[in-house]
Amino acid sequence: MKYVRVGVLGAAGYTGGELIRLLLNHPQAEIVFANSESNAGNPVSEVHEGLVGETDLCFTSEMPFDKVDVVFFCFGHGKSEAFLKEHTIPANIRIIDLAQDFRIRGAHDFVYGLPETHKTVIADCQHLANPGCFATCIQLAMLPALKAGIISGDIHVNGITGSTGAGQKPGATTHFSWRNDNISVYKTFTHQHLLEINQTVQELCPGYQGRVLFIPQRGCFTRGIFVTAYAKCDKPLEEVQQIYADYYKDAAFTHFVTKSPDMKQVVNTNKAVVYVEKFEDQLLMISCIDNLLKGAVGQAVQNMNLMFGLDEKAGLELKASAF
């Protein structure tokens, strides 16, 4: 059986911990090192306490790239590009970056890793930029309609995310007494994930004239993203539903449903659930994911599976926290 040897950089944060949790239970992956300068020498389970009893792995300050097949970057945004300027990773080692540093096409060779649109190039790439959490959820809601050219005008999007989307480092809008029983808007119409969303819109529907108008919200829950979007559409609902069903019929983790979904259907899984409804000439598109899994490390492991020719679902058949 083929095994993939893995190194994790930035392993002490939320994404690092979730990635380690998935890889420990992956049938064809072996964690060679989990790098964290600040926690070097400490057991991983002392930081990621949910892993107590599951691993004896310790954090290390070392980075033995010659002993791995792939490296995951679990850094904060902006640190991946800086890291590659300061360190040399052998050309044969694959890189999966979970930050936003390489998601926009430019003077680099990173492939944008949304499996529902880029599966073929993902399988052949050496360096991969994992999509953002909001970007994943929003794109999955709109992809079939955009590809079929059945919506026009501006696309209005509202999305609410859990507190883990802000990362592990505490802040004024993440500590319990502020976040609990609260909801707020932030980065209205300017969220950084709009760059990659608009990139995909132009790729699927060149010359599309409408704007993606996005209002992100902070929710008073830990994990998950729930997106509602609407745009003008003249097609009957039955035709739209067929377009969506056909688009996702072969998707490993994205499921089109005909009943309005709940976010708990996807929390703790790598699933995305997508739903549509018509109101006169407006098409409502709903999508929900777990921001740490399908919106981050679950999708990253899915991409690793594709890059190494493994079963796309390997290590990712997880039960939803439905109750």
* 158 DSSP β-pair partners: 215, 228
Per DSSP bridges, beta strands 212-218 and 152-161 are parallel
Contact 187, 216 (CB under 8 A): yes
Catalytic annotation present for 58? no
Contact 296, 22 (CB under 8 A): no
Length of the chain: 323
**172 contact partners, CB below 8 Å, separation of at least 6:** 178
Judged by DSSP in three states, 204 sits in helix
CA 151, distance to chain mean position in Å, is 25
Angle, CA of 103, 15 and 191, to the nearest 5°:
45
**216 contact partners, CB below 8 Å, separation of at least 6:** 134, 159, 160, 161, 185, 186, 187, 188, 191
| Residue 68 backbone class (left: φ over 0; alpha: ψ -120 to 50; beta: rest) | beta
H or E, element range at 18: helix 14-24
Distance CA 108, CA 221 (A): 37
Contact 285, 142 (CB under 8 A): yes
Dihedral angle computed from the Cα positions of residues 152, 277, 194 and 273, in that order, rounded to the nearest 10 degrees = -140
Q: Which of 58, 74, 125, 133 is catalytic?
A: 133
Residue 210 in tokens: 């409408």
Residues assigned a catalytic role? 133
